[in-house]
A and B are shown apart, each in its own frame.
Chain A
Amino acid sequence: MVHNSRSLTKLVGELKKLPGVGEKTALRLAFHLMKSPANVSALAESLLEVRARVRFCSTCFGITENDPCSICTGDRDSSAICVVEESQDLLAIERSGAFHGRYHVLQGALSPLNGVTPAQLRISELMRRIEAGGVREVVLATNFSVEGEATALYLTKLLKPLGIRVTRLAHGIPLGGDLEYIDAATVQRAMEGRSEL
């Protein structure tokens, strides 16, 4: 409770709900905003604009302001679809500039321990896109966690019978990585996935 100011207490309470923001950080942010009124208006405007304009693309389920998004309507390779768990993963692959096809965001991953089943993900929408034709390769770019692996295995089971090329992102030693400090499981995977030079 901030002394003598109910509205400031309320603001701190709202800021605390954000990920990674605790009591002290929330208080610091609140005081910073109070000292710069111009920033407050711009921030409030941005928040409302995002709320009003940003939505999920009805084709790939990535975030967009225009539906369908620019990736789904643009001049990209429509024969390859890269499947990711979340919109942030799509952005990470786009930043790399390594993929020129289209995307499909599952909006989660299968989780045996948390009871997340295929029906709760955008899997049926992915299958409909593939059944519509023209897709020759599906790149499974789910995370390398148990949930991500389970999702990739489940999708492989669905996609293989359709005669589509199903690929998985490579997994191993990071660029600049020192073998001495890499965990055993990663080294094991890297060794299994070694390629000829």
Chain B
Amino acid sequence: MLGAMDYREADRLVTLFTLEHGKLKGVAAGAKRSVRRFAGVCEPFARLRLQIVLREGLSRLQGADLVTVFPGIRRELVKIAHAGYACELTDQFLPEGVSNPRLFRLLVSYLERLDGASFSASDRRFFEINLLKILGYRPALGQCASCGMELTGEEHYRFSAAAGGLLCSCCGRVGPSVSPQTVALLGRALSSGRFGAVTFQPTSLREAGTLLDEAIAGHLVRPLKSLLFLQELGE
């Protein structure tokens, strides 16, 4: 469940990310009244097994079994904020009705990680860089995004969201500076395939954060509401 909002008297309008059909929008009719069919399921982040009638526009939820509401996430404000951000980011990037099992697995893994492990700011950046990779928006890290020259990883580079990646010292004079260590960590985050495998130290976390925030903002149509909330928490 990527998101849910009240709709009419007792219904909920839901945005779902399904393994088989990708993103769907639907109505859970009577969700606020029917404890039997929808108890606790129309909640953001919840993982469900759905009975759904697929339709053009709004699909219709017939019922849902709860797999988990990720109780560990709901016990910590910072985890709720990050789970909300991950869901909204996924929602914004995904077109409706296009199956994307890799992104589905990435989001589930991130929610499971938030649910079960201590909070780590590195995990957010791991999620973001892999989301960009899966969707084909991966920033160029191995070669200059302007001239194509191979970047050897021995000096600081500049990042340009407009160019789509790092710029060599000849092409990049302005923009956020990125150290070779940060580039290497982002590369490992792309290849390791497992949350917790990469830990960004404070400087690298800051650099990777700036790079990824700019890269993501460059592809979004509107700013994310959940980002406001994260900023409010100082994240």
Taking a contact as CB atoms under 8 Å apart, the answer to whether B84 and A113 are in contact is: yes
Contact: A113 with B8, CB < 8 Å? no
Question: Within the complex, which residue of B10, B71, B75, B88 is in contact with A113, where a contact is CB–CB below 8 Å?
Answer: B88
Using a CB-CB cutoff of 8 Å, which residues 10-63 of chain B contact chain A? 10, 36, 39-41, 43-45
Q: Taking the complex as formed, is A146 at the interface, i.e. its CB lies under 8 A from any CB of chain B?
A: yes
- The distance from the CB of A193 to the nearest CB of chain B, in whole angstroms, is 12
Cβ of B71 and Cβ of A146 under 8 Å apart? no
Chain A residue nearest in CB terms to B36: A181
Are B39 and A118 interface neighbours, CB within 8 A? no
A183 to B43, Cβ gap below 8 A? no
Does A153 contact B229, Cβ atoms closer than 8 Å?
A: no
Interface residue? A154 (CB, 8 A) = yes
The answer to whether B36 touches A146 (Cβ under 8 A) is no
CB 8 Å contact bits of A37-67 with B (1 = contact, 0 = none):
0000000000000000000000000000000
- Cβ contacts under 8 Å, B9 to chain A: 19-20
Q: Say yes or no: A20 contacts B225, CB within 8 Å.
A: no
The answer on a CB contact under 8 Å between A113 and B226 is yes
Point out the residues of chain B lying under 8 angstroms from A154, CB to CB: 77
B69-115 at interface with A (beta carbon < 8 Å): 69, 71, 74-77, 80-81, 83-85, 87-88
Q: Check B66–A183 contact: CB distance below 8 A.
A: yes
- Nearest residue (CB) in A for B3 is A113
- How many chain-B residues does the 8 Å CB contact rule pick out? 33
Q: Are B80 and A112 in contact (CB under 8 A)?
A: yes
Residue contact B74 to A146, C-beta cutoff 8 Å: yes
A186 at the interface (CB under 8 A from B): yes
The interface on chain A, measured as residues whose beta carbon lies within 8 A of the other chain's beta carbons, has a size of: 26
List residues of chain A with CB within 8 A of the CB of B228. 115, 117
Bound CA–CA A181/B35 (angstroms): 10
Which B residues touch A150, using CB under 8 A?
A: 77, 80-81
With contact pairs A145-B43, A186-B40, A188-B71 given, residues A153 and B226 touching in the complex (Cβ less than 8 Å):
no
CA distance A42 to B51 in the complex (A): 47
A112 and B36 within 8 A (CB) = no
Q: Tell me the bound Cα distance from A185 to B1 in angstroms.
A: 15
Which residues A1-43 have CB closer than 8 A to chain B?
Answer: 19-20
- In the complex, what distance in Å separates the CA atom of A150 from the CA atom of B74? 7
Closest to B38 in A: A183
- Known contacts: A146-B80, A153-B80. The answer to whether A112 contacts B74 by CB under 8 A is no
Contact among A114, A115, A183 for B40, CB-based, below 8 A:
A183
User: Does A110 belong to the interface (CB within 8 Å)?
Assistant: yes
How far apart are the CA atoms of A157 and B81 in the complex, in Å?
A: 15
- With an 8 A cutoff between CB atoms, is A132 at the interface? no
Chain B residue at minimal CB-CB distance from A153: B77
A174 to B62, CA, bound (A): 24
Instruction: List 30 A–B pairs whose Cβ atoms lie within 8 Å, in order of A's numbering.
Output: A19-B8, A20-B10, A112-B80, A112-B83, A112-B88, A112-B230, A113-B3, A113-B44, A113-B84, A113-B88, A113-B225, A114-B225, A115-B228, A115-B229, A117-B232, A118-B232, A145-B43, A146-B43, A146-B44, A146-B84, A150-B77, A153-B75, A153-B76, A181-B36, A183-B39, A183-B41, A185-B40, A185-B66, A185-B69, A189-B71
Can you add 17 more A-B contacts, CB < 8 Å, to A113-B88, A157-B77, A185-B66? A19-B8, A110-B229, A112-B88, A112-B226, A112-B229, A112-B230, A113-B3, A113-B44, A113-B225, A114-B5, A115-B229, A117-B228, A118-B232, A145-B43, A146-B74, A150-B81, A188-B71
Residues of A within 8 A of B (CB): 19-20, 110-118, 145-146, 149-150, 153-154, 157, 181-186, 188-189
Nearest 5 CB-CB pairings of A with B: A115-B225, A20-B9, A112-B84, A153-B77, A112-B229
